[in-house]
């Protein structure tokens, strides 16, 4: 009985999901293509693909109630309540969201990649080391004494960063000379 009553709505939902799966495929293929041209590692590519999937899933969840005939004022009431709770929660975790947003920005426009030696010009805590990983929340930097430093993504976008010269065989030197 349910399937007969809502046959059109279920078919429309299926078509919507098919469209979103197609969009997801196109976007993830595009991300992989662009990332491979830029030499971005696979972990970061998978992270961006996960962001795309979650975003499209949320958009689909917002559209499906309209397909089933829910009135705009009903959805507005539910979403205003939900967004009030989410707004309070997001205010409490704004730093985390700032790092995730910075991670997304770094994915598309960060000029340095894993394996590059960089120098971060921070007046309180200057750093120089090799980038080991760029994650959603932080950058992993291996400093010269062997310590692993995690540096928040939102701060790396706010500080001046210098690429320390790399020689032909991939060894780094502070003064630009070969280490051979």
The H or E element that residue 140 is part of is strand 138-143
Say whether 32 sits in a helix, a strand or coil: helix
* pLDDT the model gives residue 119: 92
Where would I find the H helices in 39-71?
A: 42-67
Same fold, 2-92 and 112-163: no
Q: Which of 18-32, 81-95, 101-115, 124-138 has the highest mean pLDDT?
A: 18-32
CATH number of 112-163: 2.30.30.520
68 φ, ψ (degrees, to nearest 5): -85, 5
Whether this model's pTM surpasses 0.95: no
Q: How far is CA 7 from the centre of its chain?
A: 38
* pLDDT the model gives residue 165: 63
pLDDT digits (tens, 9 = 90+) for 27-51: 999 999 988 888 888 888 888 899 8
Q: Which CATH class, in words, describes the domain spanning 2-92? A: mainly alpha
What is the residue extent of each domain of the chain? 2-92, 112-163
Closest by CA to 61, choosing from 46, 79, 47, 43, is 79
């Amino acid at each position: 009985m349910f399937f007969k009553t809502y046959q059109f709505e279920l078919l429309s939902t299926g078509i919507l999901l098919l469209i979103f799966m197609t969009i997801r495929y196109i976007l993830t293929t595009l991300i992989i293509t662009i990332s491979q041209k830029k030499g971005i590692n696979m972990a970061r590519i998978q992270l961006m693909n996960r962001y795309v999937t979650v975003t499209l899933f949320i958009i689909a969840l917002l559209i499906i109630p309209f397909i089933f005939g829910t009135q705009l004022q009903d959805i507005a009431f539910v979403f205003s309540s939900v967004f009030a709770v989410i707004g309070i929660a997001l205010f409490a975790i704004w730093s985390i969201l700032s790092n995730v947003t910075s991670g997304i920005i770094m994915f598309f426009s960060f000029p340095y990649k894993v394996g590059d030696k960089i120098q971060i010009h921070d007046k309180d805590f200057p750093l120089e080391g090799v980038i080991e990983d760029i994650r959603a929340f932080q950058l992993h930097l291996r400093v010269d004494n062997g310590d692993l430093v995690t540096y928040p993504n939102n701060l790396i976008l706010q500080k001046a960063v210098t690429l320390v010269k790399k020689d032909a065989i991939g060894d780094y030197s502070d003064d630009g000379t070969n280490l051979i």
